[in-house]
Structure 1
Amino acid sequence: MDLISLTCILSSVILNASAQLLLKAGINAVGYFEFSVTNIVPISLRLVSQWPIIGGLACYSVSVIVWILGLSRVDVSIAYPMLSLGYIINAAVAWYLFSETISSQKLVGIAIILLGVVVLVHS
């Protein structure tokens, strides 16, 4: 995989992970809510007025474009598993920003993901 291809794939992964984190920040600002027919419109308006949610959706949009650019250069059997790096990014940043716990089982899973990505990149 050349540098441009790797940059496209990793940029898309980072944008996708950022989108998830922004969506989480936005929903944290809204708080827990019950889904019902009567509150679909008010909750929807609250959700779409949150800047982190708007930013998350924008990151998703850009990540899809960059992902398509990456797929034009890399086999999907190599590119798609690289998305798993998003789990690692999200786990680390969620631990830092949202005080989510990272158990020893999660750390083992993260290590397995990293090993798999390294094997794929070098294949």
Structure 2
Amino acid sequence: MGYLYIFGTIFFTVYGQMMLKWRISKFGSLPADISEKVIFLLKLLLDPLILSGFLSAFVASLFWMAAMTKFDISYAYPFMSLSFMLVFFLSIFLFNEPITSYKIIGLLLIVAGILVTSQSA
């Protein structure tokens, strides 16, 4: 059951990031003028799907608290790196972001780090 808590944390974290990116990109760039920035950010905060991204972060926190009852943080936290991988792949398919050799190398290093840190002593 503990792994379900970790993966719940990852799922809701990734959902929140994807939702924020998708919705914010619909609103355009942050204006230069300070008063326009405030209005822009208030509009973002009133968007129901952006609010769902914030709620998702809260739910992810609840899952993380549950995970902390099952695992040492030094064991569980490296699994959070899986969120980087999911965001990378989803950003390619959902937002047409570029794939670079540096990003691939970085992902391979993340996977190696997860494998090393998840080993029992």
Q: Same fold (TM over 0.5)?
A: yes
Shift in Å, 1:116: 1.7
**Structure 1 residues 58 and 35: alpha-carbon distance in aligned structure 2, compared to 1, 3 A threshold:** farther
More divergent stretch after superposition (48-57 vs 25-34):
48-57
Distance 1:36 1:79 in 2: 43
Q: Is the 8 A contact 1:26 1:51 kept in 2?
A: no
- TM-score, normalised to structure 2's length? 0.90
Q: Does 1:95 align with 2:92?
A: yes
Give the stretch that moved more between structures: 28-37 or 94-103.
Answer: 28-37
Give the share of equivalent positions with the same residue, in percent.
26
How many residue pairs align between the two structures? 120
User: Cα 1:53–1:35, aligned 2, differ >3 Å: closer, same or farther?
Assistant: farther
Q: Offset of 1:102 from its aligned partner?
A: 1.6
Deviations 1:12-50 (A, max 9, x none): 012111111111111101110225432244213310222
Which of 55, 71, 76 lines up with 1:74 in the alignment? 71
Correspondence for 2:14: 17
**Residues 40 and 108 (structure 1 numbering): CA distance in 2 closer, same or farther, change over 3 Å?**
closer
Query: Structure 1: where are the runs of 5+ without partners?
Result: none
Tell me if structure 1 keeps the 8 A contact 2:78–2:118.
Answer: no
List 4+ stretches of structure 1 deviating above 3 A. none
Structure 2 match to 1:6: 3
Aligned-residue Cα RMSD (Å) equals 1.5
**Structure 1, 92-101 or 102-111: larger mean CA deviation:** 102-111
| TM, length-normalised to structure 1 | 0.88
Mapped partners of 1:5, 1:92: distance in 2: 25
* Runs of 5+ consecutive residues of structure 2 not aligned to the other structure: none
